[in-house]
Amino acid sequence: MKTQALKRFRAKLAEGEAVCGLWVTLESATITEMAVALGLDWVVIDAEHGHLDWKDINEHIRAGLRSDTVVLVRLAERSTSLTKRALDIGADGIVIPWMETAEELREAVRDCRYPPEGRRGIGGERATVWGQCFAEHTSEANENVLVVPLIESVGAIPNVAEMCKVDGVDVFFFGPADFSATAGFRGQWEGPGVAEQILNLKDTIKSSGKHCGLLATSIENLHERIEQGFRMPGLGADTGLLCRSLHQSLQAINRDHQPATSLDPRDGRPIRLPLSRPPEHMQPDRDEVITTLENSDSIELQSGVIFRPLVGEFNTARHLTTGIVSFDPHAHLDCHTHPCSESITVLNGQIEVTVEGREYRLGPLDNIVIPRWLPHKARNPDSANTSRLHIALAMSVPERELVSREFSVTEMPPDSIGLPGAERVNRFESAPRSFGVDPGAEFIDFFNAELIPGIEMSGGFARFQPGGRLPAHLHDFDESICITVGQANCLVEGRRYSLNECATAMVPRGRVHYFVNDSSKTMDMIWVYAGPMPERIVIDEAGSTESQTARSSDQ
């Protein structure tokens, strides 16, 4: 025990000064050495969570010896035996989890005091200089030992005022995450109403002459907590501060992303975290364009086959064409090839697509992707109903070349997903789904360079429940977004557009945008990127409009 360090700690609190510290969860005692070297007032060695064993704890305590840094051990539970062990090896005090009543707190204090006031046994360890200073240590330990209860459940709320009356307690510490969990908001740092409850309890504790602490979540939050009156703020945990620094460095080079949320093998691509503003090298040189079916051209590709372009060179898109193709009953399109990949998604009705003689029957929201130069043809097998398709080509001016060669036809099974190395078929009912950062949105990747090596574009299907949305983001390529069912609001740098009935937004490279379903019904979209992977750069929404306004004023 470092008596002088404890006295300085309490003197700072008495003068209204904040005592700042670090939560230690990693085994290297170098972390505590750093805290001491930087003059932190305290460290808490976490023996409740994580993997620290008593050898690690002992090394951390040793690193804090003969310094002004108070070293506390957070125990796994209130325990007389664990308390004895932590204090015997030289801890200046303990942090006790899950304190809910005054009686529990009184028991924790008894664990920390030698008789007759308590039940701590006298050991021949570091605290007593291996038995050489029994009298000196035991004469001052009861008065100076620091006992810090953790308030981390709503069950403690009605008892905090009584807990403040317990002798031998100077500081209370809050655990907002566990507090939120007990309030019904598991997984949130401060769920709805929890921040207010903690502030109210802080006022109760302060009015009794005691002090409060908790961990800050950022530099801004640290300032906020001190201003709110928390006098034992934690700068953070060692792991949290390291991750925070890594995120900042990765953000500076546009490589920041959310780590996997599970210990299973990663499923899907990492979720990038928001940038404060768009990268300077991605300033857009074109405006977004909204095209509806009513104001698109009508191009007859063949008798009974009509193409209505929605994105392409005509509205400044680069390396991308999308549109709606309708097939009258029994109408067909002769065999042909394209110098780029093509995606075909059925919106209504049915379609037969034959690729080098392999015949696929597709229904609503089924999709087929045909790599460049593969001969293929299409036919509406229905004698009574028109079929309608969404098509995408990886070029801004469509080209096709008719093929006269005949292929022997093989009818593919109804669950066929294509030929490896050639066409890919996505059956809507069985296609794997993924979910975005908002639980109200689900996605199907139809095609990208991971699914079809060498493809020039990427795209798929998304369904948004009421309230579902995407974060504000931009791309390093042009994008086509067609609203096939329901209604969507498209926001591009603060400009709002309402889209439905296959209205399509052409959002050029570098424009910050997002979609949201503000209606009471589901909304479907088909999205296509003029890039081989569906990569997006998420922008902090508050800063995105401001930065775009600044761009506009600079231009």
Q: Is-contact 10 20, C-beta < 8 A?
A: no
Residues 49, 247, 338, 473: which is the catalytic one? Answer: 49
Q: Name residues whose C-beta falls within 8 Å of residue 306's C-beta, 6 or more positions apart in sequence.
A: 298, 299, 300, 325, 326
User: Would you call 330 a catalytic residue per the annotation?
Assistant: no
Exposed, middle or buried: residue 357 (CB in 10 Å: 0-12, 13-18, 19+)?
middle
Residues 6+ apart with CB under 8 A from 255: none
Which SS3 state, helix, strand or coil, does residue 54 take?
helix
Question: Does residue 453 have a cis peptide bond before it, meaning omega lies within 30 degrees of 0?
Answer: no
Q: How far apart are CA 522 and CA 87, in angstroms?
A: 60
Q: Where are the beta strands (DSSP E) in 394-454?
A: 401-402, 410-411, 424-426, 434-435, 441-447
**Around Cβ 420, how many Cβ atoms within 10 Å?**
7
Within a 10 A sphere around the Cβ of 546, how many other Cβ atoms?
Answer: 13
Classify the C-alpha dihedral 206-109-130-57 as positive or negative.
negative
Amino acid occupying residue 129: V
Q: How many CB atoms lie within 10 A of CB 87?
A: 26
153, 286, 328, 365 from 385: Cα distances, Å? 63, 40, 7, 16
| Coil vs helix vs strand at 141 | helix
What are the E-state strand segments in 394-511?
A: 401-402, 410-411, 424-426, 434-435, 441-447, 458-464, 473-474, 479-485, 487-492, 495-500, 504-507
Active site residues: 49
